[in-house]
Amino acid sequence: MELSCMLAERASWGHMTQTSRFKIILMVAAGLFLLAAALVIIQGQQPTVSAPDTDRDLAQSSAGAQQVQISKVQRRDISQTLTLPANISPWYQATLYGKVSGYVKWIGFDKGDVVKKGELLAVMDAPEIEDQYKQAEADYAIKQVTYERYLSVWQDNHDIIAKQDVDVAKAAAESAKHQRDSRRNLLEYTKVYAPFAGVITARFADPGALIQAATGSATQAAPLFTIMDMDHVRIYVNAPQEAAQLAKPGLPVTMTAREWSEELHASITRTTEALDPATRTLLVEIDVPNKDHRLQPGMFVNVALHLQQHPNALAIPPAAIVPSKNGQEQSVFVVDAGRAKLVPVKTGIDDGLWVEVVDGLTGQEEVVVVGKSGLIDGQVVQSSPYNLPTGRPAKQKM
């Protein structure tokens, strides 16, 4: 009985081994494959265990770096220019009045007419002056004859007439002569002549108008003409106190106006050398030839005073300047090996587009122009080139 059971059990095991052997082998192979795959995955992840730490450090470094735009220090020609309003005045200007009272008898010119020096402009009708002249001329004639007769008699016989009578007659004749000449001059003042060559810019009277003599005060007398010499003009500029030391004769200037398409170049001719205490400004005068009368008196123009010119100077954009808290010291951020370095500098003239650096930089540095806000010395930065916007140097206006 027992032998039969054992034989049956062995037969059953042999049967199971044959049927399941392939499945068991597959299961074992699958297990070994999974185990090998797990080992491979673990080994493949081992070198990347430290990689996340490195990437994290780089990410943290990038997160701490400030984005800035930089510009290289350049060599440029920089000039300090001050633009001021100016007025144009004629070379000569005169308002003509009548020296004697009378009616305008003839007037030969009008506004805009060109006249020559000494040309007759108007004639006054003054019959009283003419009568006084004729009377003075007649008085001189009779006194001159009287003196000649006294002199002739005294020369023939000294006993007939005294020498004193001859001398009195001579003095009376000379006095009458001076009176005649004075009346003749007054009569000549009835004619108005041009004192210099120029243009009639104003006419105030017409024929028949009564003109009062302007010998006392011109405020109560009506003028006849205003004449201007515009072949040369004077341009007046009031320079502020800050520019007075630099505004000297010979300093180059540039004049512009809305009516002109180009600039006019000249130089300072003279200054008053003293400031007006009321305005604290220096009067600067520029003489300009004006044969074509392009510059008209009374025009408003802008005059640019080229106060200073520094060629081949170290220059940086004005936005790169970092002012100090006290407002007296200046500095810039220089990018060196990926870090910002605060460097004190001393600046010169500023034309609005570039600022001259006279001390603190060598010309090889790259300065931070954009991104200075919150930037500290030694901070890590990521820089990119600064694209300077196009523009023209500023011309300061007062």
Return d(Cα 104, Cα 124) in angstroms, integer. 5
Q: What is the pLDDT of residue 117?
A: 95
Taking only the tens place, the pLDDT of each residue in 295-310 is 999 999 999 999 988 8
Q: What is the pLDDT of residue 64?
A: 63
Give me the percent of the chain exceeding a pLDDT of 70. Answer: 80
pTM: 0.65
Return d(Cα 48, Cα 46) in angstroms, integer. 5
Q: Strand 210-211 and strand 270-276: pairing?
A: unpaired
Residues 6+ apart with CB under 8 A from 35: none
Taking only the tens place, the pLDDT of each residue in 144-169 is 999 999 899 888 888 888 889 889 99
Taking only the tens place, the pLDDT of each residue in 23-34 is 666 676 666 766
Torsion of CA 293, 298, 303, 307, to 10 degrees: 110
Taking only the tens place, the pLDDT of each residue in 238-269 is 999 999 999 999 999 999 988 888 899 999 99
Cβ atoms of residues 130 and 183 within 8 Å = no
Taking only the tens place, the pLDDT of each residue in 36-68 is 666 655 555 444 333 333 334 334 445 568 888
Residue 206 DSSP symbol = -
Q: What is the set of domains in the chain, with CATH numbers? A: 67-78+310-397 (2.40.420.20), 83-87+231-309 (2.40.30.170), 127-189 (1.10.287.470)
Return d(Cα 30, Cα 44) in angstroms, integer. 21
- C-alpha R_g of the chain: 52
Q: What is the pLDDT of residue 21?
A: 61
Q: Is the pLDDT of residue 171 over 80?
A: yes
